[in-house]
Amino acid sequence: MTTHDACQCSALQASDQPCALTQVIDVISTKWALPVLHQLLIADGPVRFGALKKTVGVVTQRELTRTLRRFEDFGLVDRKAYAETPMRVEYTLTPLGESLREPILSLGRWARENADQLQVPASPDHTEAYGAAASRREI
Q: Higher model confidence: residue 30 or residue 136?
A: 30
Beta bridge partners of 90: 48, 80
Q: Give the bridge partners for 77, in sequence order.
A: 93
If pLDDT is split at 50, 70 and 90, which confidence band does 14 have? low
pLDDT tens column, 69-79: 999 999 999 99
Domain architecture of the chain: domains with CATH: 17-94 (1.10.10.10), 100-139 (no CATH)
Tens of pLDDT, residue by residue over 17-73, are 778 888 888 888 899 999 999 999 999 899 999 999 999 989 999 999 999 999 999
